[in-house]
Amino acid sequence: MELNARRSNNIVVLAPGGRIDHLNAEAFSKAVAPYVEACNKTGPCLLFDLSGLEYISSAGLRVLMLASKRAVPAGGRIGVAAPTPMVREILEISRFDLVFPVFDNVNVGLTAFSAPAK
Amino acid sequence: MRARFWGTRGSLPVALTAVQVRHKVAQSLLLAEGRRFKDQAEAEAFAATLPFTTAQTFGGSTSCVELELQAPGKEPHEYILCDLGSGVRAFGNSVLARHGPKTPNVFHIFMSHLHWDHIMGFPFFTPAYIPGNKLRIYGCHADMEAAFRRQQAPPSFPVDFDYLGADIEFVRLEPGHRYDIAGLRVTPKLQLHAGDSYGYRFEHRGQVLVYSTDSEHKLDSAEETESFVRFFFGADLVIFDAMYSLADAVSVKEDWGHSSNMVGVELCQLAGVRHLVLFHHEPVFNDVKIAGIEAETRRLEALTRQDAPKLSISAAYDGLEIDL
């Protein structure tokens, strides 16, 4: 599992690649922790670019859930973008598509997060 | 080995409402398209061709699963059960219908835990009232007998536990130990649930069935995942608590002690299981909802199978029988 990070104005785009499963979910959790910590009312929004993610297991989705549970009450905004067809189906079957916004591509996510929160 | 499901619903028994039955009848009439049937048998044959959610129901009794090593006849038989939810009432009645009241039978009963939905059928289990029958109730909880006595004590029930005529013995098991009981190799495993629950791995002549209900998987430890992979390893059938969606199980219903279809698929794929049965259905879910979860789970399995053999997926219903 790789994790690339880039900044676009007040949005941090995190792009995990490869597979996230029960064996590397903890490493994924540690890798995203600083960005989740900073995602609050005044800090940058967090957008996960899933275009390079081949598979995510329940343990990986739990990391995203914990990120959302920590950042959103602090005033932060979290979303995912550009899931592959397979990962999109996993998000739907697990009902994670109801947990945070799923954007069709990164640009749509960046535009949405550039607008003031409703 | 055969698994027969007498109760599959989680937490609370449910029944179809009048409106729900009428809806199914209306759907059936539409699908019949004016067809005429000469008798009940012909109509039944047509009904068997209809979608499950139209002509049948997943049912509403709480947890009770029978393991059958050989088909019973009229002579005395040793029955094997998991849990004593409300489904055990119908099981007991079927035993009496087969043998009559005077045949002494033995019932080996493995308890996952002592929450109400898993013991509530016992006061209505008629064979427990009949002298000559033997009940061996196995479990890992120290307070098994107290739990059974309490639910039949005043003011909760009119017939005290001491009036039960059968020979009843509670047998304490230790998780992680192997036991030879009723022709089965049995291994209990501690599971995460309020007050603890225990899964059972049953082995018989090379066949393996795992009963794992009321079990939450925290997903924060690879070791915990691996321990369940070992517990499920190579099983022909895993009966799995899939009460919630994954999103619910790790958020609003975290620490409620239940799991999801997605975790069931993952564990069974890692363990090389042949058949996963979704069990302990959420009581607010109707037939269409459960059938939808079953279809989505099959889709998830196909999406994530890679090069592994196919994992069969079923949603349990009251009356389902599966031969291993």
For residue A96, the distance in angstroms to the closest alpha carbon of chain B comes to 6
**Between A and B, how many residue pairs show a Cβ–Cβ distance under 8 A?**
61
The CATH number of residue A39's host domain is 3.30.750.24
| Per-position DSSP letters for B45-76, written without gaps between them | HHHTTS-HHHH-----PBSEEEEESS---SS-
Which of B220, B222, B246 has the CB atom closest to A94's CB atom?
B246
CA end-to-end span of chain A, whole Å?
A: 34
Which of A57, A58, A65 has the CB atom closest to B251's CB atom?
A65
Q: What is the pLDDT of residue A2?
A: 86
Q: What is the pLDDT of residue B297?
A: 98
Q: Three-state DSSP class for A13? A: strand
Q: What is the pLDDT of residues B243-283, one digit of tens each?
A: 999 999 999 999 999 999 999 999 999 999 999 999 999 99
Token pair belonging to B122: 């016992």
- Number of domains making up chain A: 1
For residue A40, the distance in angstroms to the closest alpha carbon of chain B comes to 19
Structural domains of chain B, ranges and CATH numbers in brackets: 2-16+57-323 (3.60.15.10), 17-56 (no CATH)
Strands B197-204 and B184-191: antiparallel
Residues of chain B contacting A87 with CB distance shorter than 8 Å = none
Q: Three-state DSSP class for A116? A: coil
Chain A CA closest to residue B297: A93
Q: Would you call B303 and A69 a contact, using CB atoms and an 8 Å cutoff?
A: no
Q: What is the pLDDT of residue A1?
A: 76
Q: What is the mean pLDDT of residues A39-56?
A: 95
Question: Could you tell me if B67 and B108 are in contact, meaning their C-beta atoms sit under 8 angstroms apart?
Answer: no
Instruction: Identify residue B99 by its one-letter amino acid code.
Output: H
**Best CA proximity match to B187, nearest among B110, B240, B119, B264:** B110
Q: Would you call B300 and A25 a contact, using CB atoms and an 8 Å cutoff?
A: no
Which residues of chain B fall below pLDDT 70? none
Token pair belonging to B278: 């979704």
- Could you tell me the pTM of the whole model? 0.96
Chain B CA closest to residue A68: B251
Which of B248, B251, B262 has the CB atom closest to A58's CB atom?
B262
Phi, psi of B28 (to 5 degrees): -65, -40
pLDDT, greater one: A43 or A117? A43
Q: What is the pLDDT of residues B196-234, one digit of tens each?
A: 999 999 999 999 999 999 999 998 888 999 999 999 999
Chain B CA closest to residue A98: B247
Residues of chain B contacting A26 with CB distance shorter than 8 Å = 220, 222
- Angle made by CA atoms A84, A72, A106, in degrees to the nearest 5: 30
Q: For residue B277, how far is the Cα from the chain centroid?
A: 9
Phi, psi of A105 (to 5 degrees): -145, 170
Q: What is the pLDDT of residue A117?
A: 75
Q: Would you call A22 and B266 a contact, using CB atoms and an 8 Å cutoff?
A: yes
Substitution target in A19, A22, A30, A102 with the highest count of B β-carbons within 10 Å is A22
Owning domain of residue A84: 2-114
Token pair belonging to B114: 């002592």
CA distances A68 to A106, B56, B193, B243, Å, are 18, 40, 25, 23
- Cβ atoms within 10 Å of B164's Cβ, excluding its own: 21
Chain A CA closest to residue B306: A55
Q: What is the mean pLDDT of residues A73-82?
A: 96
Q: Would you call A90 and B248 a contact, using CB atoms and an 8 Å cutoff?
A: no
Q: What is the pLDDT of residue A118?
A: 67
